[in-house]
Homo-oligomer: A and B are copies of this chain.
Amino acid sequence: MGAISRQSVSTVACSDPQLEAALTYALSNPGKQLRSKLCRETAAMIAGRALHSAERAGEAVEFLHTYSLIHDDLPSMDDDDLRRGQPTLHKQFDEATAILVGDGLQALAFEWIVDTPELGADQQVQLIKLLSHSVGFDGMVGGQAMDIAAEGGSVDVTHLEQVHARKTGALIVAAVMAGAICAGATTAQETALTIFAKRVGLAFQVMDDVLDVTATSEELGKTAGKDIDAEKSTYVGSMGVDAARAYADRLLQEALDALSSFGAAAGELKQIGQAMVHRSS
């Protein structure tokens, strides 16, 4: 799959010129697209070939991820000026437009799933269940609220894991499980994939905290040192840089081990997992 561009969602009508420009802007800088890769490669591993349905489901997950970044960057939330090396949407346009583009992308994600004819109605329903729960009050939205509430206070690692499991982990798990649904995975396969996705999602977040203090803003494409400055609870704050790195490595190893039953077919997925943890931005 190439980047998700405004062109690739050209079936989506956008009735206002400024909203159209902002949607194009939001889609023009799609980042690493880890979540769509996880979805696509999970499906390919199980099906033994690339599935167009998993490409669509991966795009839906990216829409949800992009919406969450746009809203998280707003002044009343994390107040970020920089995202993926470019001005955040509300800096480039305005807050109202950023709220609306996020809202529209959430709706588009669900529309995208039910507008994928390769999927049966049962699969579409399973995907909507998975995604709506992952981004809802007990998932991403709840995690962001918990994260904001924890600012300035000190929380233990157990609480931190609950926050991240919701805020970032839930959608990473959903990306993998969406691939599994598209490919018709067995229950045993789903169990193994859930362990992989949870471990790799947590390792990704631990490395996010490490990079927040060790990388530059230029490398990250977003403001470095921001979590530490905001006195957010982080893994680095709780255990130090070295122990956090070691923890991420241990989680990654557990994630890779969980894929052993898939044999050589898991090569691509393992590589994505490794790239999510061993990264510089």
A residues at B contact (CB < 8 Å): 12-19, 23, 67, 71, 74, 76-77, 94-97, 99-100, 102-104, 106-108, 110-111, 113-115, 120-122, 124-125, 128-129, 132-133, 135-139, 141-146, 148-149, 162, 166
A16: chain B residues at CB < 8 Å are: 142, 145-146, 149
Task: State whether B100 touches A129 (Cβ < 8 A).
Answer: no
* Set of chain B residues within 8 Å of A74, measured between Cβ atoms: 95-96, 99
- Whether the pair A95, B76 counts as a contact (CB closer than 8 A) is yes
- Cβ–Cβ < 8 Å partners of A120 in chain B: 121
Smallest beta-carbon distance A10→chain B, Å: 12
In the bound complex, do residue B13 and residue A104 qualify as a contact, i.e. CB atoms below 8 Å apart? no
Residues of B with C-beta under 8 A to A94:
76
Residues of B within 8 A of A108 (CB): 132, 136-137
Residues of B within 8 A of A111 (CB): 128-129, 132-133, 136
Smallest CB separation, A124 vs chain B (Å):
5
CB of A114 within 8 A of CB of B128, answer: yes
